[in-house]
Structure 1
Amino acid sequence: MKENVYQTACGPIHYWRKVSDLNAPTLAFLPGLTADHRLFDKQIAFFEGKFNLFTWDAPGHASSWPFRLDFDLFDKARWLEEIFTLEKITKPILVGQSMGGYVGQAYAQLYPDRLAGFVSIDSAPLQRRYVTGVELWLLKRMEPVYFYYPWKALLKSGTNGVATSEYGRRLMREMMMVYDGDQKRYAQLAGHGFRILAQAMEKDLPYEIRCPALLICGKQDHAGSCIRYNKAWHKNTGIPLQWIDGAGHNSNTDKPEIINSLLEDFVMTILRNAEEIPTETP
């Protein structure tokens, strides 16, 4: 994967790209809040040489720093599109974990005809109707919680709470340790992320997914109300939902072989269906 930097008015965005075949689809992996591009190491290793690959350290995260935290979820989607345009990525398949899934839905709202596919991994719907007023209120006020919570305890809960596997927990700890010694930055990053999420929900936009889509959720995902959200999302939209046994909120790190297989089947189905579409003759 080749590392590149995209400059914005708020700061630099570091991203990684690997082109295997210009005619192949691009899997664009979007990590969750406070995680970074390493979250998808198991997916990158599996799909390298099969499809074109993309991932990033989201604005303000890890190497994408210093970064002014005065942007919203739609700014992130616009920067993503600008990078795609720069890199000549057409019809990307967005694979978003947690916050990455919300970024993907904002992208779909702004660029409804650009996506070839959308996969949500332990994320949730962005529509206002799925959340309560209390949940929105809490989302806007999380920064002090992360700032005053003892760092060692936060590190433990942040790793054990999102993953069930030794690998998943170790990786999450490594990603959190980027902020070791600067808990203020970590709290600001997390607080800002939850605020812009709430603001995007309050816009009460359709956030319709018009492309082929897949929902994935760990059966032991106890981050917020992710399980409840995914059940309702599937019921209301009919988007297929795959439950992952023994996986937590970072199910792609807990059960990478299962997730990789689901992703591969999803992409191959998209490719087969594209081949079956008849072309018009003059």
Structure 2
Amino acid sequence: MEHKIIKSERGITHYWINRNLDKNARCIVFTHGLTANHMMFEKQVEYFSKEYTIITWDVPLHGESRPYINFSYENTAIELKSILDAENIKKVILVGMSMGGYPSQEFAIQYADRVSAFIALDTTPFGLSYYSVLDRWWLKQVELMAKCIPDKMLRNSMAKAVSKTRYAYDMMLKMLNPLSKTDIVEQMGIAYGSVFDRKESVHFNFPVLILLGEYDKTGKVKQYCEAWSKKDGYPLHIIKGASHFSNADNYDDVNKEISDFICGL
């Protein structure tokens, strides 16, 4: 993967690209979850690089894309467009994991003509209609609760909560390692605080696949995914033996699901 950057008045965004030699190869953009970084898709990069152009990136405020001012999902979509423009890539397949589903959805709203499909990986939909007042209140408390937990305990509990396998657990800790506790808490506060900026529900006219870990107990992700699938008719497939970090817990099944979905486009 070639490491590159794009600059805006808000900060520098880092991304990695593996360009397939076939000029007609599709491009997949993988967007990581909260407090994580581009390494989250290690097993997907290995698998899909043979047939596709692959882009991973550190979402603004995460990984190496720090510092960053005026974070919003609208701005993350603008940075992603700048990456694609710089690489002269006209159309992409989006894969958004957990928080990474929000920059993906925002990009798909702003630049729908540049999206071929969206794989929602253990993530949730935009729109206040899915979230009760109590749900929204609890999300706003995450930052405060995280502040009260000792540093090492916070990291271990976060890694344990999203994983069922040692590989997923160790990878989550590895991604958290460069961050201070202040960084982690800041990311939680800003990311969760921005999720309801776009209040309306959105239906996408391109194909969407929802993937959900069998043991995903992060918040109410399971309930939101089920409601999303029912309301919009998007297929919902369960990843066996996986928790929230399903693309690390059971990367073989996730890779197959994504591959089959893309081949069926």
* Category of TM-score, reference length = shorter chain: over 0.9
Q: Which runs of 4+ in 1 moved over 4 A?
A: none
Structure 2 counterpart of 1:247, one-letter code: A
Letter in 2 for 1:34: T
> Could you list the per-position Cα deviations for residues 14-33 of structure 1 after superposition, in whole angstroms to 9, with x for gaps in the alignment?
00011112211101000011
Counterpart position of 2:169: 169
| Alignment match, 2:224 | 229
2:56 corresponds in structure 1 to: 55
Amino acid at match of 2:131: V
**Deviation (angstroms), 1:71:** 2.0
- Counterparts of residues 105-124 of structure 1 (less than 5 Å): 105-124=105-124
Which residue matches 2:149?
Answer: 149
2:243 to 248, 260, 273: 248
Equivalence for 2:186: 188
Cα deviation code 1:186-208 (max 9, x no counterpart) = 111111000011323xx32x422
Cα displacement (A) at 1:142: 2.6
Distance 1:220 1:150 in 2: 26
Q: Distance in 1 between matches of 2:29 and 2:178?
A: 23
* Paired letter, 2:256: S
How do residues 1-282 of structure 1 correspond to structure 2 at under 5 angstroms? 1-20=1-20, 21-68=22-69, 70-179=70-179, 182-200=180-198, 203-204=199-200, 206-270=201-265
Q: Which SS does the other structure have where 1:15 is aligned?
A: strand
The 1-side partners of 2:207 and 2:130 are apart by: 21
Aligned residue pairs, count: 264
TM-score by length of 1: 0.91
- SS class of match (1:102): helix
Would the aligned equivalents of 2:14 and 2:64 in 1 still touch at CA under 8 Å? yes
Among the aligned pairs, what percent are the same residue? Answer: 33
SS in 2 for 1:210: coil
Q: Taking structure 2 as the reference length, what is the TM-score of the superposition? A: 0.96
Quote the offset at 1:121 in angstroms.
0.5
Please give the alpha-carbon distance, in whole angstroms, between the structure 2 residues aligned to 1:59 and 1:26: 21
Instruction: Provide the alpha-carbon RMSD of the alignment.
Output: 1.2
Unaligned runs of 5+ in 1: 271-282
Deviation at 1:62, TM superposition (A): 1.3
Partners of 2:60 and 2:71 within 8 A in 1: no
Tell me the CA shift for residue 248 of structure 1.
0.4
- Name the structure 2 match of 1:279: none
Residue 159 of structure 1 deviates from its aligned partner by 0.5
Q: Do 1:101 and 1:123's aligned partners in 2 also have CA atoms closer than 8 Å? A: yes
Larger radius of gyration: 1
AA aligned to 2:182 is K
**Counterpart amino acid of 2:65?**
S
State the alpha-carbon separation in 1 of the partners of residues 73 and 68 from structure 2. Answer: 15
- Runs of 5+ consecutive residues of structure 2 not aligned to the other structure: none
